[in-house]
Structure 1
Amino acid sequence: MMDNLNALFSQQTFARAIEFIWREAELLDRRDYRAWLDLWEPSGFYVVPIDPNTTDFAATLNYAYDDHDMREKRVQRMTSGYSASASDAARTVRTVSRFTLSSDSADLVEVKSSQIIIAYKRGVSTIFAADLAHKISVASGEPRLVEKVVRLIDSTEALSAIGFLL
């Protein structure tokens, strides 16, 4: 009986985590960066590593390694109208799929997935593909991002036009 309850809890938690990840993608596509900031635990990290195999993000070079303060500053730049990424921002459409539950507990769910982003800017469409890893706290009853790692499949190449949140 207890195994059935644990399985049901895991399935419900996994489904809620997937819905949360889809909501995050929608907010980013709509450029609703303030609402995106509200999804985060203050202690969380948004990471876009260059090295596709690194796990020590603090000790390696990253495209982004944002704590709360850096996420706020990034959003401020993107919404101020003073930076190129704000005044001429790409329109994006994200597809997130291939969800895998890495682990779950009563307080934290880890979900891996894949993401394809089509970014359209100045008549040119650019494709970005990545493996994602989300750590989502469910401790307060309201899901909150603890960590999001975006591993671009071409992260070691020269990348341009990534002036938006992945």
Structure 2
Amino acid sequence: MDDRNALFSQQTFARAIEFIWREAELLDRRDYRAWLDLWEPSGFYVVPIDPESTDYAATLNYAYDDQDMREKRVQRMMSGYSASASDAARTVRTVSRFTLSSDSADVIEVRSSQVIVAYKRGISTIFAADLTHKISMSGGEPKLAEKVIRLIDSTEALSAIGFLL
């Protein structure tokens, strides 16, 4: 029985990693509509300012997006009317150092690191962050229940992040 649980856990963890890589690819390709489809309707996309924050609703964040706010953010980015849409940086993400934080039949929590190189107007900028993905596995198809992006320089002034992290 323990071997079965271990195998299930390994397979679920591998599926979660593939899902996280797929999300990174969609964001690099600016396929924001497909990215929206990765989410549970009740999910939250969070970029906290305080690196220790866990009560996101009660603290200031760069982003604390529910479904409505995610859709509005994507609409702004795709409209061509905002600076972030008309002159968006090209990005390449590397996501690695995957650690299984919790594993249940319904939700798996994976921690990882991410490095983004953003290229805009001849300048490359590096963003580094610790990520936490809570991925719902209950519907057969993995869905994001929560994504928290803890930028390593979150307490410093960040200039023009015109893309999703």
Percentage of pairs with the same residue: 88
In the alignment, structure 1 residue 40 sits paired with structure 2 residue 53: no
Paired residue type of 1:84: A
Match of 2:83 in 1: 84
Match of 1:150 in 2: 149
How many Å separate the matches in 2 of 1:7 and 1:40? 27
Q: SS of 2:100's equivalent?
A: strand
Match of 1:68 in 2: 67
How many Å separate the matches in 2 of 1:157 and 1:105? 36
How many Å separate the matches in 1 of 2:139 and 2:92? 30
TM-score, normalisation: structure 1 = 0.99
Match of 1:98 in 2: 97
Q: After superposition, where does 1:109-120 map in structure 2 within 5 Å?
A: 109-120=108-119
How many Å separate the matches in 2 of 1:161 and 1:130? 16
Q: SS of 1:159's equivalent?
A: coil
TM-score, normalisation: structure 2 = 1.00
Q: After superposition, where does 1:19-34 map in structure 2 within 5 Å?
A: 19-34=18-33
How many Å separate the matches in 1 of 2:16 and 2:126? 25
Measure how far apart 1:6 and its partner are: 0.4
Q: After superposition, where does 1:44-59 map in structure 2 within 5 Å?
A: 44-59=43-58
After superposition, give the CA deviation of every residue in 1:90-109 in whole Å (9 maximum; x if it has no partner). Answer: 00000000000001111100
How many Å separate the matches in 1 of 2:160 and 2:31? 19
Q: SS of 1:78's equivalent?
A: helix
Q: Which runs of 5+ in 2 are unaligned?
A: none
Measure how far apart 1:163 and its partner are: 1.3
- Following TM superposition, the consecutive aligned residue runs of length 4 or more in structure 1 with deviations greater than 4 angstroms are none
Q: SS of 2:139's equivalent?
A: coil
